[in-house]
Amino acid sequence: MPFADLRSFVDRLEAEGELRRVAVEVDLAYELGAICRRAADLDGPALLFEHPRGHSMPVLANLLATRRRVALALDATPETLVDVWRSRTREPIPPVTVGAGPCQDNVVEGDDVDLARLLAIPVFNELDAGPYITAGCHISLDPRTGERNVGVYRNQVHGPRTLGISAPPFRHLAQHHVEAERAGEPLPFAIAIGVEPGVFLGAVAPVPAGVDELAIAGALRGSPVELVACRTIPVDVPATAEIVLECELLPGELLEEGPFGEFTGYYATAKPRQVIKVRAVTYRDGAMHQGVYIGRPPNESIQVSLAMNEATIMDQVSLPGLRAVHMTEGGSGYFQAIASIDKPFEGYGKMMGLAILGAWAGRGIKTLIVVDADVDPFDPVEVDWALASRVQPHRDVEILKGMVGPGLDPSISEHEKVSGSSRTSKMIIDATRYDAATYPRTVAPEPDVYERVLAEWQKYGI
Ligand SMILES: Cc1cc2nc3c(=O)[nH]c(=O)nc-3n(C[C@H](O)[C@H](O)[C@H](O)COP(=O)(O)O)c2cc1C
Ligand SMILES: [Mn+2]
């Protein structure tokens, strides 16, 4: 059953022992972020901060910070998650518009809007420039075609009705903004915060321009997302969102945004970036704010894109024999991956490596380890064992230079960040058995006996 709203998902997590209510008062400045950091390191539960100091609005955080909870959001298991994602997203389900929704239980318009007073907004990390909204799904329409886009971008709170945003030119919202600017117009758009997890995961999905992320969300949840019309702008928003900011991106205006602690584990530097004016805030009775803690791995901002990046690479690589791809959490879900393959002949490990690095969804990978089918790419000890026992560096490591890489990689020097896309070197480590037919046998118990031992495991009392 899809979740009707964020609250029903919170209830489900609580029933599964996957959510803790934090009843003590917690400071929005730094303390809430510090607790999120520690809880993520402990592989801990989702957190509902019931009493942010000086605020009546609770804050939900670390919601999808583990693969278990991402799987729960889609009624899958960590093991089936990638297959479930791939099969559901084949058939997008467009949203439907309904007459009314609880996201408009309360309405605050114009100069009555004071974001810091209305919403409990944390300052997460030491050098962050100030309070940041990090779970906002930005919903906009292409001014030329009317096609909808949804993406999650961070928002610095600049003033009572003014927000910053970091949406580089390749982001679809930024492209809509440029179209509106060309006509000298502001771009109306909405920020929905506290949406049910299908909508959030859909918003983060790396789909091409022109694909409506709300139809991907519908596919993920297995039924159409219900929308209501905003009150001050011609944009529709999820009817059950906890909070909606009705906004405009201003033409030709910039304000210094940042620094902000990024998902790479390093701060993004301050720069003049686009400016948002908030026209109205609507929210549910008893609304909660949602914050995504972002920082070095592990954390939620990495988990929400990890499985779908794996799924998208699987969809985009057409070479036979690719059994699974694992984007590692330590690699921020982006820079490092392990692929397990069936290898029909020598050299196929590197060939598959090139195919993965050449896939659109694999373009951020810097280090790719290819393992045989008998090694679980999700088990770091098994991968380490393959590296230790199946790799001769001079023979099995290929280094590729001058490749397209992610601009946020702090190891790329400034002068290598040329002409809009950064250059990086990449490494394929072929950790499959070289000349498998003659490779020494791996050690294992006698197979019939081992099967019997597993079947009768109880009787040993271990
Ligand atoms: C918590 C979180 C925060 C994010 N913040 C940003 C951001 O500030 N800027 C950005 O460009 N992408 C950000 N992303 C990534 C985008 O949401 C993601 O790439 C999305 O697919 C972009 O949508 P678009 O392709 O429709 O522009 C964030 C993702 C998450 C999960
Ligand atoms: Mn998009």
Chain mean pLDDT for the chain:
96
Q: What percent of the chain has pLDDT over 70?
A: 99
**Per-residue pLDDT, 405:** 84
Residue 168 Cβ inside 6 Å of ligand 1? The answer reads yes
| pLDDT tens readout for residues 291-302 | 999 999 999 999
Distance 140 CA to ligand 2 centre (A): 10
pTM: 0.96
Average pLDDT over residues 256-282: 97
Which pairing describes strands 132-133 and 155-159: parallel, antiparallel, or unpaired?
Answer: antiparallel
Residue 204 Cβ inside 6 Å of ligand 1? The answer reads yes
Kindly report the number of other CB atoms within 10 A of residue 26's CB atom: 20
Q: Are 315 and 362 contacting, i.e. CB atoms less than 8 angstroms apart?
A: no
Average pLDDT over residues 62-82: 97
**Per-residue pLDDT, 416:** 75
| pLDDT tens readout for residues 432-453 | 999 999 999 999 999 999 999 9
State the Rg of the chain over Cα: 23
**Per-residue pLDDT, 413:** 81
| pLDDT tens readout for residues 158-193 | 999 999 999 999 999 999 999 999 999 999 999 999
Using a CB cutoff of 5 Å, list residues around ligand 2, an ion: 149, 172
What is the per-residue DSSP string for 237-276?
Answer: EETT-SEEEEEEEEEEEEEEE--EE-TTSSEEPPEEEEEE
**Per-residue pLDDT, 420:** 61
Residue 140 Cβ inside 6 Å of ligand 1? The answer reads no
pLDDT above 90 (res 256): yes
What is the per-residue DSSP string for 56-86?
Answer: SS-EEESTT-SHHHHHHHTT--TTTHHHHHH
Average pLDDT over residues 31-44: 98
Does 78 sit behind a cis peptide bond, omega within 30 degrees of 0 on the bond before it?
no
**Per-residue pLDDT, 419:** 61
Residue 206 Cβ inside 6 Å of ligand 1? The answer reads yes
**Per-residue pLDDT, 1:** 72
Atom of ligand 1 nearest to the CA of 304: 31
- Protein residue whose Cα sits closest to atom 11 of ligand 1: 167
Q: Which of 122-126, 174-178, 411-415, 445-449 has the lowest mean pLDDT?
A: 411-415
**Per-residue pLDDT, 415:** 77
**Per-residue pLDDT, 423:** 85
Average pLDDT over residues 64-88: 97
User: Which ligand sits nearest to residue 334's alpha carbon?
Assistant: 1
Atom of ligand 1 nearest to the CA of 150: 26
User: Distance between CA atoms of 34 and 38, rounded to whole angstroms?
Assistant: 6
Which pairing describes strands 46-49 and 59-61: parallel, antiparallel, or unpaired?
Answer: antiparallel
For residue 98, the Cα-to-chain-centroid distance in whole angstroms is 28
Ligand 1, residues 204, 207, 213, 264: which to mutate, most atoms within 8 A of Cβ?
204
